[in-house]
């Protein structure tokens, strides 16, 4: 029997897997995707996450590629109004974070099992039976649901995900190439009509992460993300006619979600990361909060699996992380409001969400 089965190989699941494996605890990681992705997604590591990755032996490969100082260049109605240097943490794509953790995990002897979605679970006094889509059943002493905002684990446990989902899309997103655009700045163009577009140069690539309020169609409905729509938004807000955008693999959209699980443990099964809490991206805390969850869960599981204290220690994880998740939800909602207020004027930009 495996000690811990982890569903999901995002930053949370991989951090947990590395932390357990380095303690000599038996781990398997199952992942719904058929293969790793290369999406920039969460792109900021806090000093706390970097410290954790240092302890896990995965930080050097990230600091070798990532950017310690990023200059946020704000433009308002086409005019350059400010440059703000931010040097608290590391700018790096989420796929690169996952790659570094996967490489470290492989060194510790564990490989992610792809094309293996969790579909059902049952638990008893000694373990959990986790069923995959192909009918395979894996028995483990504990299961960690690190399977993202739409968590199957959470659904199977019947854990409520209380909160708010905005009816409208807030942003379209994507990874794009923009030949000729300086890679020395995170460009942030805002316009007095309330629109804007942000292009962040992603380290170790020739791409930018693009974020923008979506372009409305003739009925005012948001158009889906596409490189053609990105180009029209860019022309309108950045006003740099020489720059032509080209798609680089990832197109998505994002809406405000402020939700958290009403509990993070049901018997031998735990939730961590986006599976337990989702919140606005202002301040860049989503992935980092998942990393903190993973560290706390590894500590709790290690105490239960290697100590003599018995299963009572399993309560420690939720006692620590449920209040932390509630605090992050409240904090990021305020950061989100500060950013929205700041970008409507020529003054501050998205750095209003950092402090």
Residues of this chain that interact with ligand FAD (CB under 6 A) are 7-13, 30-33, 41-44, 94, 117-118, 146-148, 152, 173, 211, 254, 273-274, 281, 284-288, 290
Instruction: Return the number of the residue (192 or 334) whose C-beta is nearest ligand FAD.
Output: 334
Q: What is the closest distance, in whole angstroms, from the C-beta atom of residue 305 to ligand FAD in the complex?
A: 22
CA angle 198, 223, 252 (to 5 degrees): 55
Q: What is the closest distance, in whole angstroms, from the C-beta atom of residue 209 to ligand FAD in the complex?
A: 7
Instruction: Return the number of the residue (71 or 313) whose C-beta is nearest ligand FAD.
Output: 71
Q: What is the closest distance, in whole angstroms, from the C-beta atom of residue 254 to ligand FAD in the complex?
A: 5
Instruction: Return the number of the residue (7 or 140) whose C-beta is nearest ligand FAD.
Output: 7
Distance, in Å, from the CA atom of 15 to the CA atom of 28, rounded to the nearest integer, reads 13
Q: Are 234 and 246 in contact (CB under 8 A)?
A: no
Q: Are 324 and 289 in contact (CB under 8 A)?
A: yes
Q: Are 286 and 296 in contact (CB under 8 A)?
A: no
Q: What is the 3-state secondary structure (H, E, C) of 184-227?
A: CCEEEEECCCCCEEEEEECCCCCCEEEEECCCECCCCCECCCCH
Instruction: Return the number of the residue (76 or 250) whose C-beta is nearest ligand FAD.
Output: 250
CA angle 168, 169, 175 (to 5 degrees): 175
Q: What is the closest distance, in whole angstroms, from the C-beta atom of residue 15 to ligand FAD in the complex?
A: 8
Instruction: Return the number of the residue (81 or 86) whose C-beta is nearest ligand FAD.
Output: 86
Q: What SS3 class is residue 12?
A: helix
Q: What is the closest distance, in whole angstroms, from the C-beta atom of residue 8 to ligand FAD in the complex?
A: 3
Q: What is the closest distance, in whole angstroms, from the C-beta atom of residue 188 to ligand FAD in the complex?
A: 14
Instruction: Return the number of the residue (238 or 256) whose C-beta is nearest ligand FAD.
Output: 256
Q: Which residue in 95, 130, 89 sits closest to 6, CA to CA?
A: 130
């Amino acid at each position: 029997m495996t000690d811990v089965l982890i569903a999901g190989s995002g930053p949370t699941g991989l951090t947990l897997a590395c932390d357990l494996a380095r303690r000599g605890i038996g781990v398997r990681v199952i992942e719904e995707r058929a293969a790793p992705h290369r999406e920039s997604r969460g792109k900021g590591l806090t000093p706390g996450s970097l410290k954790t990755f240092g302890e896990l032996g995965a930080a050097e490969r990230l600091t070798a590629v990532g950017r310690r100082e990023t200059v946020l260049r704000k433009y308002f109605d086409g005019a350059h109004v400010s440059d703000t240097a931010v040097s608290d943490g590391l700018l790096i794509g989420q796929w690169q974070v996952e790659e570094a953790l996967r490489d470290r995990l492989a060194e510790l002897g564990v490989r992610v099992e792809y094309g293996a979605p969790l579909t059902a679970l049952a638990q008893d006094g000694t373990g959990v039976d986790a069923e995959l889509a192909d009918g395979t059943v894996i028995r483990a002493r504990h299961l960690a649901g690190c399977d993202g905002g739409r968590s199957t684990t959470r659904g199977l446990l019947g854990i409520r995900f209380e909160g708010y989902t905005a009816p409208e899309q807030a942003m379209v997103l994507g990874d794009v190439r923009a030949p000729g655009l300086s890679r020395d700045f995170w460009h942030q163009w805002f316009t007095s009509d309330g629109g804007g577009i942000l292009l962040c140069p992603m380290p170790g690539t020739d791409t930018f992460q693009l974020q923008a309020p979506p372009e409305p169609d003739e009925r005012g409905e948001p158009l889906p993300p596409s490189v053609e729509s990105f180009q029209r938004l860019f022309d309108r807000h950045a006003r740099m006619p020489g720059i032509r955008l080209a798609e680089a693999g990832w197109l998505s959209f994002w809406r405000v979600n402020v939700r958290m699980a009403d509990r993070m443990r049901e018997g031998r099964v735990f939730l961590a990361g986006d599976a337990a809490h989702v919140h606005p991206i202002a301040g860049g805390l989503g992935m980092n909060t998942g990393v903190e969850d993973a560290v706390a869960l590894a500590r709790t599981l290690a105490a239960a699996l290697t100590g003599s204290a018995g299963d009572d220690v399993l309560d420690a994880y939720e006692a620590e992380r449920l209040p932390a998740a509630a605090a992050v939800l409240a904090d990021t909602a305020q950061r989100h409001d500060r950013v929205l207020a700041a970008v409507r004027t020529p003054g501050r930009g998205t750095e209003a969400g950092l402090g």
